[in-house]
């Protein structure tokens, strides 16, 4: 339970206003009653109505319940209550009836799910799954044919004269119908890039070329080995399930080095990058959330845990599944140079050409600028361009002294995720 | 890569319109349409580029931050981050003043958030910005100090508003007399009035001398057996200097009383002390009993602080039995009165509660523990009072009055007060 700190709680806030409201609600005066027992935390918060709001938290996940009308998740009451808990202001007590009832229901539901997943699959199940998979693949191929004609038309007419962003959106929607969200995402991205920025022509050429290769590979799927097929399926956006993971998990102490949270329509995707302390192996934990539901708190950058990670099949396995974990102090291995990192990327791409984000961890890194963009310079004086958040918090803390820097490389630029040094850890 | 650029250009203008001689890779492609061939080639070239990427090696990192000469207020980081989340800017400014007094600097962990605050707030935080903050601000392209003022325009180039402003801003010293005297003959009345007011404040100027000559003998003390009386001889409007700004109407004052009011507001209040040999409090008390009470008291209220800053007079007016609930008191008294006088007036409960709030706010400084206690009591009873600002002006000892629950209708106000005062207290203790 001691793993909860104010910082960790604040990381759960769905937006800045929730964070500010939660701070307001973290005073004792707002909570006429509150208590905790084992993994349960609860309290009654005074609101504008006559009846106080009943707020409960199951600290295991965490899961939240509150009787307030807020649609944010977790609401400010749950966050305020958790801040008080993190500060050690909540005393042990026996939970009231409404809390035990909620917890019992949760346990019941979880037991049911476990029983269901533990049940052996019947022959009928396997057959039905194969049938569904074949049907999906047929849908994808049909969609790809339309998409190929669309791309050929765009290339033939020229991007300056052809379709508007709306038509790319339209095609993307068609690919969603064809059960290929990976292609749909790429199409939408192209539509948004055309005509935007000084270098859009090259960027779109990259994106369209990459998409065409992906479609060509899909047509030749039979000639690919199992791992390459798995990579192709993932690139097409076919969901990877927990059951798909490799049987031999990798045990290690995993340091959580960085995290990127991106909004895709109504879904929020969170990529957490982990580095095995003993094995030196990289892992990427991918999670999705709707309606602002919080992500796994164990994956907070700047923390570490002991766990067995199960990797999804791939010619260059990165994505992994996490079950149980025991927290550990953060103490990652040292990083590399740009040369070594890009060399590793070359090998990775030779095996898995659909890699979109690749982790880069530099040691002794400093920041420089060419007047237009910021660059991260390694200890050998070699540099890579930055995109996304600027390095101000890192510079404020380090004074541009050499630091460990972690980012996501997309083939052209680095999205800075975190940095650390003797001055502490900062996540961007 | 030239091939890639040629293909990317072809894609923009249309592969069907592109010159095939400039697309050698395309010609080699044997299956599918030229469009498809172009796209596949682009994909392959993109893969080659990404897989074969080499880092740039001609860029130097920016110089590191210079060393600090003062210590960082490291223990303040957490409460400051909380204050930033709550947008409690006044609490941050209060902390900055205290930290600067102790020669401490804002710690690096809060610098980016501080530098992202509005320019006015950033300027107020300058005393807690050290070398690191200035270095970072330069990198972020943020200007911490206002730009050097441009060369002042000549008097002839200025419009009447700028001329009036320049007079207001100019130092009231004999060196500037030629400027003020020239301005006193301006065409525009606003400029003339500003010049007159300014000249009246410079001892020895022709205007100041004229005013004092005119004021002489207007107030005399008549001593009786058991009491004193103030004899007032108001000037007639014709006696006033022609360039003196006149008040068209003020309350129920007649023409002579109005002339007296105009004379009093342009005369240094200390002059009347010399004239009568009385202290400000005694003089005000006698003036209140005179036939010209309204003209005299309003004139003095107007004279302070518009024309003459005299804290003794502010205190005397505040403590006198004049109607302290007049709005003029806000400017006149509350900015200049001493803390003791303000406290005495407030604790005497002579103010309407709303006036106390307004005056306390006008002072813009931390209130004494006794006044704070009284204000908290007002707030508790009058829960409708805007809750936003008092929390930042109350003395920190007021925490003990807002720690226990209040009646339901004022409880949310109490919680707000508690939250802010408790945060200020933590910021204070962190130094």
Asked if B265 has any chain A CB less than 8 Å from its own CB, the reply is: no
Tell me which of A255 and A5 has the higher pLDDT. A255
Chain B residues near residue A153 by CB distance under 8 angstroms: 35
- The verdict on a CB contact (< 8 Å) between A399 and B64 is yes
The arithmetic mean of pLDDT across residues B202-217, rounded, is: 89
Task: Note the pLDDT tens digit of each residue in A51-77.
Answer: 889 999 988 777 888 988 887 778 889
Highest mean pLDDT, choosing among A59-63, A353-357, B165-169, B199-203: A353-357
Tell me which of B24 and A169 has the higher pLDDT. A169
Contact B244, B284 (CB under 8 A): no
Contact A67, A79 (CB under 8 A): no
Reply yes or no on whether the pLDDT at B31 is more than 70: no
Reply yes or no on whether the pLDDT at A1 is more than 50: no
- The verdict on a CB contact (< 8 Å) between B136 and A392 is yes
Give how far B397 is from chain A: nearest CA, Å: 18
The arithmetic mean of pLDDT across residues A138-153, rounded, is: 89
Which has the minimum average pLDDT: A306-320, B287-301, B394-408? Answer: B394-408
**Residue A178 DSSP code:** T
Structure confidence at residue B26 (pLDDT): 56
- The verdict on a CB contact (< 8 Å) between A392 and B422 is no
Main-chain dihedrals φ then ψ at residue A81, nearest 5 degrees:
-65, -40
Structure confidence at residue B46 (pLDDT): 87
Which has the minimum average pLDDT: A386-400, B120-134, B341-355? Answer: B341-355
Helix and strand numbers, DSSP H then E, in chain A: 11, 15
Q: How far is CA B95 from CA A205, B101, B102, B368, B392, in A?
A: 54, 10, 11, 18, 11
Q: Is B261 exposed, middle or buried (0-12, 13-18, 19+ CB in 10 A)?
A: buried
Residue B24: pLDDT band (50, 70, 90) is low
Task: Note the pLDDT tens digit of each residue in A307-355.
Answer: 999 999 999 999 999 888 888 889 999 999 999 999 999 999 999 999 9
Characterise B422 by phi-psi region: left (phi > 0), alpha (psi -120 to 50), beta (else): alpha
The interface residues of chain B toward chain A in range 19-48, judged by CB-CB distance below 8 A, are 33, 35-36, 38-47
Give the HSE-up count for residue A204: Cα atoms under 13 Å, Cβ half-sphere: 28
Percentage above 70 pLDDT, chain B: 88
Please, what is the average pLDDT of chain B?
A: 84
Closest CA to A426 of A302, A300, A271, A335: A302
Q: Could you report the predicted ipTM of this complex, rounded to two decimals?
A: 0.79
Task: Note the pLDDT tens digit of each residue in A271-307.
Answer: 999 999 999 999 999 988 876 677 877 888 998 999 9
Reply yes or no on whether the pLDDT at A14 is more than 90: no
Which has the minimum average pLDDT: A46-55, B74-83, B366-375, B378-387? Answer: B378-387
Chain A residues near residue B16 by CB distance under 8 angstroms: 156-157
Query: Which of A158, A202, A208 minimises the CB distance to B13?
Result: A158
Highest mean pLDDT, choosing among A108-117, B32-41, B129-138: B129-138
Residue B128: pLDDT band (50, 70, 90) is very high
Chain A residues near residue B132 by CB distance under 8 angstroms: 396, 399
Structure confidence at residue B214 (pLDDT): 92
Give the three-class secondary structure for B171: coil
Structure confidence at residue B97 (pLDDT): 94
CA B254 to chain centre: 38
Residue A268: pLDDT band (50, 70, 90) is confident
From the CB of residue A1, how many other CB atoms can be counted at a distance below 10 Å? 11
Residue B20: pLDDT band (50, 70, 90) is low
Query: Which of B35, B45, B86 minimises the CB distance to A24?
Result: B86
The interface residues of chain A toward chain B in range 355-414, judged by CB-CB distance below 8 A, are 366-370, 375, 377-378, 380-385, 390, 392-393, 395-397, 399-401, 411-412
Chain B residues near residue A216 by CB distance under 8 angstroms: 40, 43
Chain B residues near residue A24 by CB distance under 8 angstroms: 86, 419
Chain A residues near residue B44 by CB distance under 8 angstroms: 209, 213
Which has the minimum average pLDDT: B71-80, B124-133, B366-375? Answer: B366-375
Asked if A148 has any chain B CB less than 8 Å from its own CB, the reply is: yes
Task: Note the pLDDT tens digit of each residue in B302-351.
Answer: 887 666 777 788 888 878 766 766 766 666 667 677 778 878 877 776 67
Chain B residues near residue A384 by CB distance under 8 angstroms: 55-56
Q: What is the DSSP string of B1-13?
A: -HHHHHHHHHHHH
Tell me which of A164 and B162 has the higher pLDDT. B162
The arithmetic mean of pLDDT across residues B123-143, rounded, is: 94
The arithmetic mean of pLDDT across residues A214-236, rounded, is: 90
- The verdict on a CB contact (< 8 Å) between A158 and B35 is no
Reply yes or no on whether the pLDDT at A387 is more than 70: yes
Please, what is the average pLDDT of chain A?
A: 87
| Domain definitions of chain A by residue range | 6-117, 123-236, 244-328, 338-427
Main-chain dihedrals φ then ψ at residue A26, nearest 5 degrees:
-90, 15
Reply yes or no on whether the pLDDT at B256 is more than 70: yes
> How many CB contacts within 8 angstroms connect chain A with chain B?
184
Residue B272: pLDDT band (50, 70, 90) is very high
Closest CA to B364 of B393, B339, B341: B393
Asked if A11 has any chain B CB less than 8 Å from its own CB, the reply is: no
Residue A245: pLDDT band (50, 70, 90) is confident
Q: Is B161 exposed, middle or buried (0-12, 13-18, 19+ CB in 10 A)?
A: exposed
Query: Which of B5, B47, B57 minimises the CB distance to A353?
Result: B47
- The verdict on a CB contact (< 8 Å) between A345 and B411 is no
């Amino acid at each position: 339970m001691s793993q909860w700190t104010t910082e960790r709680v604040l990381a759960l806030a769905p937006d800045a206003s929730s964070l500010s409201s939660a701070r307001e609600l973290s005073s004792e005066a707002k909570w006429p009653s509150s208590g905790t027992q084992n993994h349960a935390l609860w309290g009654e918060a005074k609101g504008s109505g006559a009846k106080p709001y009943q707020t409960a938290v199951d600290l295991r996940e965490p899961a939240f319940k509150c009787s307030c009308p807020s649609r944010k998740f977790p609401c400010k009451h749950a966050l305020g209550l958790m801040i008080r808990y993190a500060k050690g202001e909540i005393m042990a007590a026996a939970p009231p009836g409404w809390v035990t009832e909620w917890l019992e229901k949760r346990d019941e539901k979880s037991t049911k799910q476990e029983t269901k997943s533990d049940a052996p699959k019947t022959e009928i199940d396997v057959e039905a799954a194969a049938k569904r998979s074949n049907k999906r693949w047929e849908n994808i191929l049909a969609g790809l044919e339309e998409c190929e004609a669309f791309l050929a038309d765009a290339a033939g007419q020229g991007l300056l004269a052809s379709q508007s962003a709306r038509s790319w959106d339209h095609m993307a929607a068609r690919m969603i119908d064809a059960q290929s969200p990976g292609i749909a995402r790429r199409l939408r991205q192209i539509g948004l890039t055309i005509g935007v920025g000084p270098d859009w022509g090259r960027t779109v050429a990259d994106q369209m070329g990459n998409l065409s290769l992906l479609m060509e590979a899909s047509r030749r799927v039979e000639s690919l080995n199992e791992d390459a097929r798995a990579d192709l399926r993932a690139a097409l956006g076919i969901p990877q399930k927990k059951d798909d993971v490799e049987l031999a998990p990798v045990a290690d102490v995993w340091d959580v080095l960085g995290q990127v949270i991106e909004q895709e329509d109504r879904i929020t995707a969170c990529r957490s990058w982990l580095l095995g302390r003993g094995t030196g192996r990289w892992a990427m934990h991918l999670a999705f959330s709707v309606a602002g539901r919080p992500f796994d708190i164990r994956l907070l950058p700047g923390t570490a845990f002991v766990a067995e990670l199960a990797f999804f099949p791939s010619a260059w396995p990165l994505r992994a599944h996490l079950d149980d974990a025991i927290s550990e102090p953060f103490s990652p291995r040292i990083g590399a140079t740009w040369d070594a990192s890009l060399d590793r990327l070359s090998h990775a791409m030779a095996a898995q050409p659909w890699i979109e984000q690749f982790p880069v961890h530099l040691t002794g890194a400093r920041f420089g600028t060419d007047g237009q963009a910021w660059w991260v310079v390694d200890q050998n004086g070699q540099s890579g361009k930055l995109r996304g958040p600027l390095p101000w918090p890192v510079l404020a803390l380090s004074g541009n002294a050499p630091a460990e820097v972690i980012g996501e490389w997309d083939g052209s630029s680095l999205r800075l995720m975190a940095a650390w040094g003797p001055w502490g850890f900062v996540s961007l | 890569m030239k091939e890639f650029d040629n293909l990317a250009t072809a894609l923009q203008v249309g592969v069907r319109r592109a010159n095939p001689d400039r697309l050698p890779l395309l010609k080699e492609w044997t299956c599918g349409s030229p469009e498809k061939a172009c796209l596949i080639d682009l994909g392959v070239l993109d893969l080659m580029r990404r897989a074969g990427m080499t880092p740039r090696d001609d860029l130097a990192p920016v110089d590191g931050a210079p060393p600090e000469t003062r210590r960082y207020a490291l223990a303040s980081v957490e409460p400051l981050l909380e204050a930033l989340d709550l947008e409690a800017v006044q609490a941050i400014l209060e902390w900055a003043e205290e930290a600067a007094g102790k020669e401490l600097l804002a710690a690096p962990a809060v610098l980016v958030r501080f530098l992202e605050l509005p320019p006015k707030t950033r300027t107020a935080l300058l005393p807690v910005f050290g070398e690191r903050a200035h270095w970072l601000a330069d990198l972020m392209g943020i200007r911490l100090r206002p730009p050097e003022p441009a060369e002042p325009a000549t008097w002839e180039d200025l419009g009447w508003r700028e001329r009036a402003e320049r007079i207001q801003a100019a130092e009231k010293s004999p060196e500037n007399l030629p400027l003020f005297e020239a301005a006193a003959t301006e065409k525009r009345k606003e400029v003339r009035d500003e010049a007159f007011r300014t000249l009246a404040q410079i001892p020895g100027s022709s205007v100041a001398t004229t005013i004092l000559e005119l004021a002489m003998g207007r107030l005399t003390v008549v001593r009786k057996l058991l009491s004193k009386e103030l004899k007032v001889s108001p000037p007639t409007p014709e006696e006033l200097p022609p360039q003196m700004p006149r008040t068209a109407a003020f309350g129920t004052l007649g023409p002579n009383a109005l002339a007296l009011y105009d004379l009093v507001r342009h005369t240094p209040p200390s002059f009347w002390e010399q004239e009568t040999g009385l202290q400000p409090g005694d003089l005000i008390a006698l003036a209140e009993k005179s036939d010209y009470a309204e003209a005299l008291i309003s004139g003095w209220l107007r004279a302070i602080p518009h024309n003459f800053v005299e804290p003794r007079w502010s205190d005397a007016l505040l403590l006198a039995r004049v109607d302290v609930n007049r709005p003029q008191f806000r400017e006149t008294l509350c900015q200049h009165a001493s803390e003791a006088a303000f406290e005495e007036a407030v604790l005497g409960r002579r103010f309407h509660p709303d006036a106390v709030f307004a005056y306390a706010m006008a002072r813009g400084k931390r209130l004494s523990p006794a006044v704070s206690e009284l204000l908290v009591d007002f707030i508790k009873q009058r829960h409708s009072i805007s809750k936003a600002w008092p929390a930042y002006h109350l003395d920190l000892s007021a925490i003990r009055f807002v720690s226990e629950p209040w009646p339901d209708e004022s409880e949310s106000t109490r919680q707000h007060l508690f939250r802010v005062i408790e945060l200020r207290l933590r910021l204070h203790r962190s130094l």
